[in-house]
A and B are shown apart, each in its own frame.
Chain A
Amino acid sequence: AQSVAQPEDQVNVAEGNPLTVKCTYSVSGNPYLFWYVQYPNRGLQFLLKYITGDNLVKGSYGFEAEFNKSQTSFHLKKPSALVSDSALYFCAVRADNYGQNFVFGPGTRLSVLP
């Protein structure tokens, strides 16, 4: 079975400080990992994904994520947070032997304080 954990329901960070949103996963095959962001009453917007290759993936809006196979983690990071980054962040996983649908984590609400 595939599963995703986001251990923090809420992350608070001051504007200009670095932010990290944590994600760990469990899959039986090769993992494909995705980050999506959801603003209030909006759909999910794709940020970045890890397929293969370089463990550090760069995405939209200055976000990046680091794939760590030994720790089965895919933490989302940004060097300098903006107030406009405040939103709900979902980590999602698919495995190459599983199917086409995503398994999402429970989400982490990021609040960037001015």
Chain B
Amino acid sequence: AAGVIQSPRHLIKEKRETATLKCYPIPRHDTVYWYQQGPGQDPQFLISFYEKMQSDKGSIPDRFSAQQFSDYHSELNMSSLELGDSALYFCASSPRLAGAQDTQYFGPGTRLTVL
């Protein structure tokens, strides 16, 4: 079965650079979530989108922005990168919004290292 695809899998950037992470949800899933998992930490919710509109916002820094496109893929744009942004970034998708019962299916993550 198709899973959530994230690219790139690994990314190395310098401080103050920008980075763009991409997420391709499972086919027919219209809701996308972004999470950040720091070293030894649990995943922290950043932001979510449903039908190309932001549906919920968590602890996403102002330096970060995200959007969902007409094909339902999503991109997380990160600017003025800081050392503390080094983390594993997960994307998850689910078939519909407002279903707290719905399972979120996670991608393999993008490991961002900021030097």
Residues of A near any B CB (own CB < 8 A): 32, 34, 36, 41-46, 49, 51, 90, 94-96, 98-107
Are A45 and B106 closer than 8 Å at their CB atoms?
yes
Are A43 and B109 closer than 8 Å at their CB atoms?
yes
Q: Which residue from chain A places its CB closest to the CB of B58 in the assembled complex?
A: A101
B64 is an interface residue with CB less than 8 A from chain A: no
Interface size on B, residues (CB 8 A): 30
Are B45 and A34 closer than 8 Å at their CB atoms?
no
Are A102 and B45 closer than 8 Å at their CB atoms?
yes
Interface contact tally, CB-CB below 8 A? 61
Are B90 and A100 closer than 8 Å at their CB atoms?
no
Contacting residues, chain A, for B31 (C-beta < 8 A): 100
Query: Which residues of chain B in 87-115 are interfacial with respect to chain A, using CB atoms and an 8 Å cutoff?
Result: 90, 92, 94, 97-101, 103-109, 111
> 16 A-B Cβ contacts within 8 A?
A32-B100, A34-B103, A46-B103, A49-B103, A99-B56, A99-B100, A100-B31, A100-B56, A100-B97, A100-B100, A101-B33, A101-B45, A101-B48, A102-B35, A102-B104, A104-B44
Set A44, A45, A95: member contacting B43, Cβ < 8 A: A44
Contacting residues, chain B, for A102 (C-beta < 8 A): 35, 43, 45, 104
Set B42, B45, B100: member contacting A106, Cβ < 8 A: B42
Are B42 and A32 closer than 8 Å at their CB atoms?
no
Known: A100-B33, A102-B104. 10 other contacts (CB 8 A): A43-B4, A43-B107, A45-B106, A46-B106, A100-B31, A100-B56, A100-B94, A100-B97, A102-B45, A106-B42
